[in-house]
Amino acid sequence: MSKEKDDNYWRERLTEEEFYVCRKAGTERPFSGEYWATFEDGRYHCRCCGEVLFESASKFDAGCGWPSFDAGAGEGVIAEQADRSLGMLRTEILCASCGSHLGHVFPDGPTATGLRYCVNSLSVKFHPEEDTGSEEADEG
């Protein structure tokens, strides 16, 4: 039996919209996603498995209506594959850990990487940067 999780597993854990984007390679409408205009410090995790995919320091406003980043959070967290849908050739990006569809990467980014990872908000979950240095209880 395959160790990969099937559609039923994901349908039980994701909303209908999240399932469409993450597991069926759908795309949310531009300027409709939760994070396209979010620029707080923090990390963007895979909506499906929780893997850290992008850091807020790599996020920029591409004007396209989707969250855009110039790099993944680390080596090997983002997988790529050819996407020949819609009559064109694009590079699809996926979570390397669970295979969740994230969006596409384009070679037109404005930074030194030259890349624009165009990501659906529904495929990620933002965790604001918080003071996680010490969990000691306050005394007093």
* Binding site, annotated residues: 46, 49, 95, 98
pLDDT per residue as tens digits for the range 28-70? 999 999 999 999 999 999 999 999 999 999 999 999 999 999 9
Looking at residue 87, what is its pLDDT?
87
Q: Are strands 42-46 and 116-119 parallel, antiparallel or unpaired?
A: unpaired
For each of the domains in the chain, give its residue range(s) and CATH number, in order of start. 30-128 (2.170.150.20)
Tens digit of each residue's pLDDT (9 = 90 or more) over 76-93: 999 999 999 888 899 999
48 is catalytic: no
pTM (two decimals): 0.87
Active-site residue identified among 22, 48, 64, 118: 118
